[in-house]
Structures are given as C-alpha cells and as structure tokens.
Structure 1
C-alpha cells in the first residue's frame, strides 16, 4: 500500500523527531494528508500532502530527503504525487505568492532559479496543499503572527481552492467569522 510505504519512509527518515508547530513533523504531515482527504482531494494530492516536506520548503528548511532521490520518491508514491511534492517544495514564496492566482503569473523555482507559468491544475493543487498546510500550522498556534496576511493570501486564491478548502480558510482565518 502506497500510503503505508510513505508513512514508513517518513518514520525511517526521522520525521517524528523533527519539531514542528503542533508537535512533530510526522504528525503535521499526517494531519495535512487527513485534511486533504476530508476535502475530497485526489489521491496524488493526498500523497503529496503526506510527503510535502521531504525536500524542505521555503517556510520550513528541514529536508528529510535530497533532491537527488526524486526518482525513489516517485517510485514510492507515483510520479504525479512526487511532481506535486517537488512543485510545493520548490516554491520561492517571496516571488511566487503575490501573483499566484493570476493564470499568467510566473512561478520561481527556489532550487534552480528558473521561472515558468504553471498550468491551472498545478496551481489548484498547489493552492489546496498550501491551504491545508497553513491551516494546520495556524490551528497548532492560533496566536501565530501573520494570520491576517495569510487570510489575505489564501482568500485571494479563492478561485483556485475547492469549496471545502475555501470554507475552512474562511472559518479558521477570517477575523469576521
């Protein structure tokens, strides 16, 4: 079973020993996977949610696996899920987030410096994964600074989010709800 294999890999790589808001990285990854499952996300997105921090991210620099092992991750969770993991991890948030909802906006890969325009499906998957990830962090630390900015960002991505994800963004982050 792919999910069990991914869970086993995360445990082997020590995700349970890495501190993260709300406990440890492993628990966070499982919560993100579970949130995406509740939202009805496709299997490859749920698996990407479970593994989204394998290569580290712009917001969480701890990498459990090197980029030189992408083929191993693809063999474990599937090429489409691994591509989403890489896409998420590669995001240069400072240059990519501000205009991300614009279908013509460029995305900057923080690993290579290359810029490209992602297709609509990739944008939607990225936005959904970002929402699940950030909502979990906020739930772990409700007093987290940046919550109004996060609400502004994610509500600006409304057109990319599923209805269930958009509802959770409103419920958790909207100061007026």
Structure 2
C-alpha cells in the first residue's frame, strides 16, 4: 500500500477511472462521485485511513443491491496492494455480508446473530472492530445518497459518532474530487474542523422524534 493517503487517493482515482467508474451511473451521479463522496464523509468524521479507503471502494466487488462490480473476487490481491489488507478486508465483508444493514444493526445491539456470506451461504468470522468499521462505512454510504433515514438504528449510531447533528443534518459539505485530492492535510482533524465550519449543512431525509435522539 502507498504510504501517503493523498497519493493513495490519487492512485485510486486512476484505478477507478480505468474501471469506468466515471461512466457508470449511481444515485443520480456517477459511481466515481459516490465513492469519493463516501470517502470524504469518512475523512471529515475523523475515520482511520483504512476505513476511509474501504469506504472509497466499499462496493468494488458488487453488493446484493449494486451488482455493477468494478473488481472480480479473484482480484483481491490487487486491491490489497492498492489500499492495504485491513481496508480490503472490510470492502470484501461489505460486499459479501448477507442482509448487511440488518446484520450490522443487530451486532451493534450486541445480538449474537450469525454473519452469513451471501455468495457461499457460510458463516463469516467477524469481530467488533469489523462491525464498527462496516457501520461507519454503511452510514457514510447512506449519507452520501441522502438515505440514512431508511435505517433508524444506523442513524442513531451515526448521531452517537457525530456523523449527523441532533436535527438530522450532515454538518459538512462534500468536496469535489479535485478539491479533495488537493486539500492541505487531507483527512486531518484540522481539515475536518475547517470543512465542518465552512461547509453547508445538508438535511437528510429523516424526521426526528425524541425517542430516537441519543
């Protein structure tokens, strides 16, 4: 894996463009825009580099709802080389976990539900750090599409993590890819605070009830 995050993001953009991500439609924009938007949310929320990179490639192998894969299962070593072993593992789990949102939500409640591979129907070994990473990635994925309101439990977890404000707002703006790659101290706490202060809040489609505020 390339050591510098910005350099890795630049290499990732070239990789994604070569895989036609800039030409594939996703949630009213392009797949490339969605993937970088997801990574940007994670950066601005102070996620680790590995989680940010996993967010950038979260649907690389295709998911149950998004089957337009940009990587084949056999290409795992290439993705490990690009983003690192931890990030690639979370990408793989994100793409392979059956009933992903329901499973993540149950595990966040400490319910011992099985994690099932949607391809092989076998059980997956998954720990608390995996669940926390997958939850952050899923929240960022849904926030970028303005659809976090479809999962109340993840929305509550997002509020606890500071990924949304108390009134259902995303307290930062998404940066254009060129701006994101050219930002000073990309992904740093200082950059995150600057974006939170200067960006426009975006209201997500989620009515707020007192019982859901934590």
Consecutive unaligned residues of structure 2, counting only runs of 5 or more, are 1-6, 170-203, 210-214
2:75 is the counterpart of 1:69 = yes
Question: Gaps spanning 5+ residues in structure 1: where?
Answer: 139-143
C-alpha separation in 1, matches of 2:166 and 2:26: 21
Question: Mapping of 1:1-177 within 5 angstroms?
Answer: 1-93=7-99, 96-97=103-104, 99-103=106-110, 104-116=112-124, 118-138=126-146, 148=149, 150-155=150-155, 158=157, 163-165=161-163, 167=165, 170-171=168-169, 172-176=204-208
Q: Tell me by how many angstroms 1:91 deviates.
A: 1.7
Moved over 3 A (4+): 166-170
C-alpha RMSD of the superposition:
2.4
Give yes or no for contact 2:24–2:31 (8 Å, CA) kept in 1: yes
* Offset, 1:161: 7.3
Displacement of 1:117: 5.1
Distance across 2 between alignment mates of 1:48 and 1:98: 19
The structure with the largest helix share of the pair is 1
Q: SS at the partner of 2:22?
A: helix
Q: 1:161 to 1:71 in 2, by over 3 A?
A: farther
3-state secondary structure, aligned to 2:163: helix
How much does 1:174 deviate?
3.6
* TM-score (ref. length: structure 2): 0.70
Query: TM-score, normalization: structure 1?
Result: 0.83
Higher gyration radius (CA): 2
Distance 1:109 1:87 in 2: 8
Q: Which has the higher contact order (CA 8 A, sep 6+)?
A: 2
CA contact (8 A) 1:155 1:169 kept: no
Distance apart, 1:113 and its partner CA: 1.3
Distance 1:3 1:38 in 2: 15
Counterpart contact for 2:104–2:135, Cα < 8 Å: no
What corresponds to 1:141 in structure 2? none
